[in-house]
Amino acid sequence: MATGARCASHPDVAAVATCVRCGSFLCGDCTELVGESPYCAPCVAVLRRDAKPSRVVQVALGLNVLGLVCLPCSLALPLPTLVAGLAGVVLAGRELRRIRRGLGAERGRMQARVVLSLGGLNLGLSVSWLVMLRLSQ
């Protein structure tokens, strides 16, 4: 009979790690690394659910709000709004893909969707603005 710690989910397998959050023993199959720390699957789910939205999405949100505010100020060329819209669409899309793969915080999903919508709005307004400028010449 083997001695030592056994995996909480697989009692016939020796433990190779301990979950940092809950302290349960984990075998190699049950160990999930977050950064360099071992976690069990339920604790990883809790971490993903409770984690803050990524800073990238927060910056993209601020950039898109700023782009909307800058649009009336940039009568000749709506470059800030165009850049904000493009950045918002690209960054929000990337973050939503990260969340779907399980790499991003669940709480960031709604914020990423808002950034995606604002980015589309900024792009649409910029293109409309450029078309209006072109037609007025």
pLDDT tens-digit map of 74-112: 666 788 888 999 999 999 999 999 888 877 888 889 999
Which residue ranges of the chain lie beneath pLDDT 70? Answer: 1-3, 74-76
Instruction: Tokens for 20, please give them.
Output: 């940092």
Q: What is the pLDDT of residue 2?
A: 54
Instruction: Tokens for 58, please give them.
Output: 């927060």
Q: What is the pLDDT of residue 75?
A: 64
Report how far residue 107's alpha carbon sits from residue 33's, in angstroms, rounded to the nearest whole number: 20
Report how far residue 97's alpha carbon sits from residue 89's, in angstroms, rounded to the nearest whole number: 12
What residue ranges do the domains of the chain occupy? Answer: 1-49, 51-136
Maximum distance among all Cα pairs of the chain, rounded to whole angstroms: 88
60 close to 85: Cβ distance less than 8 angstroms: no
| Paired residues of 38 in beta bridges | 33
Residue 105: phi, psi to the nearest 5? Answer: -75, 130
115 close to 64: Cβ distance less than 8 angstroms: yes
| Paired residues of 17 in beta bridges | 26
Q: What is the pLDDT of residue 39?
A: 94
Residue 38: phi, psi to the nearest 5? Answer: -85, 140
